[in-house]
Amino acid sequence: MADTLPFWGPATGTLTAVGNVLTLNCPGSVGAVVSVNGTWTGDIVVYGSTDAPGLVQGLRIAYKSGIGSSGIATITGNGALIQKEIPVLTGGQRITVQAQSNFVGSVALTIIATASPSVIGISGPVHTAEEEAIRNAHGFTFNTGIQLVGAGQYLNVIIKNPSNSGVNLFFRRRYFFTDRVFADAPLTFAQLTNPVDPGLTFAQGSNLQTAPTASPAPMSNCTLAFNVSGTHIDTSPPTANPIQAIIDTQQPFIFDTERMIVPGASLGYYVAGVGTDGFIPQVEFLCNWYEEVTP
C-alpha cells in the first residue's frame, strides 16, 4: 500500500471586511491551493509565518496567471465574479489570506496544503514584473498633457506615495515630449527627491488595464500633480540638483533609470522652458509605474 503524503485542511471562511483573515496551520507543508469565489474590489494578500503564533509574517508567492506567470502575493478583484484556484508556495508553520485596506466586497476561501509542491517551475518564457502588474491591475500611467513652457517658466511635476498606501511604487520610464527645434537652446530638467509641495492639486493616475465600465480597474495609490510656474520646485533645504538636457528635438526623451518610491516619499521633476523669436515650446511629461505590496 502506497504511503500518503501529509495533508492539512481544508480551512474555510469568508472575507467581508478590511483586516479579515483566514489561516491554515500547516507546519512542514511545501505547497498549498487557495480557492477563491466571490465579488470584490481591492486586494487580498497571501502571508506565511515561520512561528505558530504568526508574530512574524512574510509574503508568500502565489501564481494566478497560468504557465509563464511570475509569482505575486496579491490577488486583486475588480468588482467582477472571480472563481479560481491559486497555487501557493508555502513553507513555515502557517499560511494566511488577509483582506487589505482597499478591500470591499465578499470572497469565500478554502485553503488546503500538502507536503508536495503545488507549483512546478518550468524554464521558459515568463512575464516581466511590469506585464504581471498590468495583468493584476497594478500598472498605471499619468501625463500632464501639452503645456506651453517659455523662457523663465517651469513645468513642475510631483509624484507622491502616501505614507499609508501599503505599496512600493516602481517607476521604469519617464517621457519628455517637446516640439523644440535645434535653433533653440536645449530644454533642461532636474530630478528631486522629496521636493516641497507648493500647494499643487493632486490626482490619481489611470490604470493600464482596460476594464468594463460596470467594474472599472482600481485607482492608483499614488497621487501626482503638476503646474507651469515662474518658480521651480525644490527641496528643503534647497539642494544643487543635477541639470540634464533634453537633447532630442521633436522626439520623445526617455529617462530610463528605474526608481522605487516607498510609502511616505515623493519624487519631483521640473523642466526649464526656453523661447526665442516669439517661439514657445510645447512640453509634455508622461510616466508609467507599477505598484507592489510592501513586505
Q: Please give the mean pLDDT across all residues of the chain.
A: 80
For 37-55, write each residue's pLDDT tens digit: 999 988 888 888 776 665 6
Amino acid at 184: D
Inside any domain, residue 1: no
Per the model's pLDDT, the better-predicted residue between 91 and 199 turns out to be 199
Q: What is the DSSP string of 36-69?
A: EEEEEEEEEEEEEESSTT-SSEEE--B--S-TTP
For 216-237, write each residue's pLDDT tens digit: 777 888 889 999 999 999 988 8
Highest mean pLDDT among 180-189, 195-204, 246-255: 195-204
For 61-84, write each residue's pLDDT tens digit: 666 544 444 456 778 887 888 888
109 with 150, same domain: the answer is no
257 with 277, same domain: the answer is yes
- Of 107, 127, 147, the residue that ends a domain is 127
- Of 106, 127, 148, the residue that ends a domain is 127
Question: 174 pLDDT exceeds 80?
Answer: yes
Inside any domain, residue 113: yes
107 with 158, same domain: the answer is no
Inside any domain, residue 132: no
- Of 105, 127, 149, the residue that ends a domain is 127
Distance separating alpha carbons of residues 279 and 270, to the nearest angstrom: 20
189 with 254, same domain: the answer is yes
Per-residue confidence band for 1, with pLDDT thresholds at 50, 70 and 90? very low
Question: 206 pLDDT exceeds 60?
Answer: yes
- pLDDT attached to residue 222: 86
Cα–Cα distances in angstroms (integers) from residue 121 to residues 29, 30, 69, 87, 124, in the given order: 17, 14, 10, 12, 9
278 with 153, same domain: the answer is yes
101 with 147, same domain: the answer is no
- For residues 8-34, give the mean pLDDT: 90
The enclosing domain of 86 has a CATH number of 2.60.120
**Radius of gyration, CA atoms only, the chain:** 23
For 246-260, write each residue's pLDDT tens digit: 655 667 777 778 889
76 with 208, same domain: the answer is no
Inside any domain, residue 2: no
Number of domains in the chain: 2
Inside any domain, residue 68: yes
207 with 248, same domain: the answer is yes
149 with 264, same domain: the answer is yes
- For residues 160-181, give the mean pLDDT: 83
Inside any domain, residue 133: no
Residue 58 domain boundaries? 7-127
Highest mean pLDDT among 9-23, 120-134, 240-254, 265-279: 9-23
150 with 272, same domain: the answer is yes
150 with 282, same domain: the answer is yes
- pLDDT attached to residue 69: 46
65 with 207, same domain: the answer is no
- For residues 9-27, give the mean pLDDT: 92
Question: To the nearest whole percent, how much of the chain has pLDDT over 90?
Answer: 22
Per the model's pLDDT, the better-predicted residue between 12 and 242 turns out to be 12
